[in-house]
Amino acid sequence: MSDTKTESFEFQTEVKQLLDLMIHSLYSNPDVFLRELISNASDALDRLRFEGLTNPEWLPEAELGITLRVDPEQRLLTVSDCGIGMSREEVVLNIGTIAKSGAAEFTAALKKKQGKEIPPELIGQFGVGFYASFMAADRVTVTTRKAGADTATRWESTGEGGFEISEAERATTGTDVTLHLKAAGGDAGTPDYADEWGLRQIVRKYSDFVSYPIRLETVGGEESKGGDDPLNSMKAIWTRPDDEVSEDEHGEFYKHISHDWSDPLLHIRTRIEGNFEATALLYLPSVAPFDLYHREMAHRGIQLYVKRIFIMDECRELMPEYLRFVKGVVDAEDLSLNVSREMLQQDRQIEAIRKHLVKKVLEALGELKQNDEEKYLGFYSQFGPVLKEGMLDPREKRERILDLVLCASTVNAGKLGSLAEAVDRIPEDQDVIYFLTGASLDTITRSPHLEAFKKKGIEVLLFSDRVDEVWLEQNPPEYKGKRWQSVDRGDIRLGSEEEQQAAEEERKQEEDAFGELLGRLRVAVQDRVKEVRLSQRLTESPACLVNEEGELTPQMAAILREAGQDVPETQPILEINPTHPLLVKLRELCETDSSDRRIAEFGELLYGQALLAEGGRLDDSAAFSRKLADLMLRAL
Ligand code: ADP
Ligand code: MG
């Protein structure tokens, strides 16, 4: 046609890389391309039905369904739906790019896997299901017409380099994805996707529960034996008795609703009974999606149904933000079919369902933690930091979250263990939980703040996720009757009353002896710290920095600044260790000549290395290095 404008586009680099992997078929199971295309068709029908509530004229007269059209002669397979369709802009955006925020992560993940088989979770994490078509086809065309529009768009690509967009014709709303199938057999042993029997098997295996009928049509062939019956049973999986649903079926259903390619970690089935009724089938993923921390993107994956009819996706009202990784379906009996997102926010019934679901998820996690430590550790390594965001949710009973928290400690050599068990180990007469936070486990395990605790055999819990700074800062509730006490805050006194008294005596004497030196050091670092004092927490290191009780930690201050908050600068306290030989020598030097210039230099170096020891950054690292080099030179 002369009036058809054809425009060529290059694939985004990341898409090229992905397609390259798909085409050269490093992926072990090409059959799943059909699952992905059917899943997209089903999503498009869901969206049309939802939009149809406000635009009833968009709904077709014919039944909402999906058709697989095979032409064995031409080796064509078309997946056709009468769903929402796409505009020209949407086609370009949806099929040809990976969401911006995901692109960098994708490249990084891909680098790590170079040359190896693509792990399904890598693909699933980035929601790139459509591209799976290129495992079965050497050319794909998409013809689509958006609901409410008069014109259609055609997308075409061989999967190498780029794609072409042109105007097209389509009699009704919806989308056809046509695969020009690769030759069957060959070295790669490509299955024959033009084979009717094979297609039936694949649909049964991967898409049986899809709630729209999937029909098979053979072009030019005789009437297929099954007549007009759908290939899928369409039976909602959550309405079937639990013991009749196999793990495989759960796996496929989960992949359909979550767009993930890995099997779920576990499923939770629950019923709400009483004034109103609902059934829920929830899944915990085993792998975190790349966008878990992209606030705007990490959609919560709960689908809302009313009496088996799909109402909406991403129903945020049913799951709190900190459980955004939970996927699944809620099927309510008594809600209106015309419920809108706005109505959900005030709906008491929805609120009650939400509470029930949160309880069930936390209970299931509790059981997993109890019964399968290794699996729980796997879960926690993926989702622990998100779960702990629950400590910041004002609606949440925070003890419930604490029961699920894992942490490292000075007694378990950097391994994660149960917080609850650690707190049970605390002696009865110690009424606080000692803890330390920091940017990495590596730095905090070696922190000078821990020295006295290690020496006295007092366990300190170590937290190194970013979110830990935040919830531990916000006055966490007593846990098992014990208060939280940071070991890098305020004045720490350890031991029994007598021991403390003896220590106090000793400190008085030391303070007299060190008075002059402390004064000199204060002058040397007065613009960096607000006080220099003797430490009770150091046994090996010469110095450390501490904050006053109730003050922000430097890490927390950094987090808040990053979030755009105006945080006033606060200065730490420099604590020095009076028993350290360096300080003993320095004191002697000060006694001999209190105006010795080296004292000030040492003061700055002590401050600098205390800052470095806790993973901090020096304002003027060049000056610090220079001083250090000078000192080394003189020492030689
Ligand atoms: P995902 O389904 O995880 O979003 P896909 O690669 O499978 O990723 O699909 C990319 C996007 O293309 C979809 O989000 C959707 O917007 C669009 N799309 C794909 N297939 C269809 C279809 N049959 N009808 C309408 N839109 C579609
Ligand atoms: Mg998809």
- Per-residue pLDDT of 428-478, as tens digits, reads 999 999 999 988 898 889 888 999 899 889 999 999 998 998 899 888 999
In this prediction, residue 618 carries a pLDDT of 85
> Between 536 and 176, where is the model more confident?
176
The residues placing their C-beta within 5 Å of ligand 2, an ion, are: 40, 129
Interval between CA 86 and ligand 1 midpoint (Å): 9
Q: What is the mean pLDDT of residues 138-152?
A: 96
| Range 118-123 average pLDDT | 61
Exposure letters 378-406 (e unless 16+ CB within 10 A, then b): ebbebbbbbbbbbbbeeebebeebbbbbb
pLDDT in the model for residue 117:
61
In the CATH hierarchy, which top-level class contains the domain 237-374?
A: alpha beta
Residue ranges of the chain that CATH labels 3.30.230.80: 237-374
As a whole number of angstroms, the distance between CA 112 and CA 455 comes to: 42
CATH 3.30.565.10 segments of the chain? 7-226
pLDDT reported for residue 1 = 46
Q: Give residue 291's pLDDT.
A: 79
Nearest CA to ligand 1 atom 9: 130
What pLDDT sits at residue 370?
Answer: 96
Q: Does ligand 1 have an atom closer than 6 angstroms to the CB of 32?
A: no
Considering the chain, what is the average pLDDT of its residues?
A: 88
Report pLDDT digits (tens) over 566-594: 877 788 899 999 999 999 999 999 999 98
Best of 38, 89, 94 to mutate for ligand 1, by most ligand atoms within 8 A of CB?
Answer: 94
Superfamily of domain 7-226: Histidine kinase-like ATPase, C-terminal domain (3.30.565.10)
CATH 1.20.120.790 in the chain, residues?
497-548+566-635
Q: Which of 243, 231, 254, 258 is nearest to 127 (CA)?
A: 258
Q: How far apart are CA 203 and CA 237, in angstroms?
A: 15
Q: Please state, in angstroms and rounded to a whole number, the distance separating the CA atoms of residues 468 and 407.
A: 10
Higher pLDDT residue, 348 or 65? 65
Q: Is the CB of 19 under 6 A from ligand 1?
A: no
Range(s) for CATH 3.40.50.11260 in the chain?
Answer: 405-486
**What's the 419 CA to ligand 1 centre distance in angstroms?**
42
Q: How confident is the model at residue 511 (pLDDT cuts 50, 70, 90)?
A: confident
Ligand 1 contact via 98 beta carbon (within 6 Å): no
* pLDDT beyond 90 at 203: yes
Pick the closest to residue 89 from 25, 178, 151 (CA basis): 151
405-486 is a CATH 3.40.50.11260 domain: yes
Bigger pLDDT: 123 vs 439: 439
pLDDT at residue 2 in the model: 44
What is the CATH T-level fold of the domain 497-548+566-635, as seen in this structure? Four Helix Bundle (Hemerythrin (Met), subunit A) (1.20.120)
pLDDT at 335 over 90: no
What are the pLDDT digits (tens) for 35-89? 999 999 999 999 998 888 889 999 998 899 999 999 999 999 999 999 999 999 9
User: Is the predicted pLDDT of residue 249 greater than 50, yes or no?
Assistant: yes
Supply the pLDDT for residue 296.
58
Percent of the chain whose pLDDT exceeds 90: 52
Atom of ligand 1 at shortest range from CA of 128: 6
The three state secondary structure string of 118-183 is: CCHHHHHHHCCHHHHHHHCEEEEEEEEECCCCCCEEEEEECCCCEEEEEEECCCCCEEEEEEEECC
